[in-house]
Amino acid sequence: MTRAALPGSQFPSGNLWKILPLALLLCTTFVLPALAQEKDKLWRTLSVTGRGVETTPATLAQVSLGVEIQGKTAQEVQQEAARRSSAVVAFLKSQNVEKLQTTGIQLNPVYSYTNNVQRITGYAATNTVSFRIPTEKAGTLLDDAVKAGATQINGISFVANDQAIAAAQKQALKEATQDAQQQADAVFSALGFKPKEVVSVQVNNASPPPPPMFLRAEAAKVADASTPVVGGEQQVEASVTLQISY
């Protein structure tokens, strides 16, 4: 019995069933080596992590200060805290500080204890703000902020400007990549292997750590003297992981 040829087919219907197994065999022959190569590339790899650290001058002071008011009634202390805080914010704006923002508004009862009995004796309101200022201006500005109404210096830290941090991040990444490559070269040399290519790159981190807070004081205690403020340096760290085939 003769099978009918498929429409558009250039092969006789009788030969089609003979050709299909051959085509599948050829396809399998080409695919299997490719899969083996990919498997070999995944198994024969070395992973190394390099670290880079770049130091840049901290030219900005990150300051947190506030106003704390205590009184008999909640309305009284809240209104006074708002009035003084407005005066402090107006002063800071006049000094063209950067990244000025409110960081906290609190109103809490003040308790006293007599014969193990708790009583509310008043209220305390606290408003805090943070901002950035060039380090060399920070001491004078803190003194003037106290005169404007601030009663607390909650903290001060030192950071580099955004442009300097971006440049330091790029340099730290470059150093981390070179460090990873040097580690890999040392391992391959010791084992007598020959590296082929980098098959994976992972950037783990490229940012400065949170700056520490060094100063906390009651503003009234430093108002009579010029407050010394000395900046320092900021480190930017980066790590890069390379996966290299061999």
The pLDDT tens digits of the residues spanning 100-157 come to 999 999 999 999 988 888 899 999 999 999 999 999 999 999 999 999 999 999 988 8
Cβ 226 vs Cβ 140: under 8 Å: yes
CA-nearest of 169, 193, 165, 191 to 62 is 165
Using a pLDDT cut of 70, give the percent of the chain over it.
74
pLDDT: which is higher, 118 or 87: 87
Rounded Cα gap, residues 149 and 144, in angstroms: 9
Residue 183, φ and ψ in degrees, nearest 5: -60, -45
Rounded Cα gap, residues 194 and 185, in angstroms: 9
Q: How confident is the model at residue 194 (pLDDT cuts 50, 70, 90)?
A: very high
Q: Where are the beta strands (DSSP E) in 135-192?
A: 152-159
Number of alpha carbons in the 13 Å side-chain half-sphere of residue 44:
14
- Does 234 score more than 60 pLDDT? yes
Strand partners, 4: none
Q: How confident is the model at residue 10 (pLDDT cuts 50, 70, 90)?
A: low
Encoding tokens for residue 110? 């003040």
- Does 223 score more than 50 pLDDT? no
- Does 5 score more than 80 pLDDT? no
What DSSP element (H or E) covers 148? Answer: helix 135-148
Question: Among 4-18, 97-111, 214-228, where is mean pLDDT lowest?
Answer: 214-228
Q: pLDDT at position 217, please?
A: 36
Rounded Cα gap, residues 168 and 135, in angstroms: 19
Segment 190-207 mean pLDDT = 88
DSSP class of residue 239 equals E
What DSSP element (H or E) covers 16? Answer: helix 13-43
CA-nearest of 21, 36, 58, 64 to 209 is 58
The pLDDT tens digits of the residues spanning 19-44 come to 555 555 454 455 455 555 565 555 78
Q: pLDDT at position 15, please?
A: 56
Cβ 158 vs Cβ 61: under 8 Å: yes
CA-nearest of 134, 153, 131 to 143 is 153
- Does 199 score more than 50 pLDDT? yes
pLDDT: which is higher, 141 or 209: 141
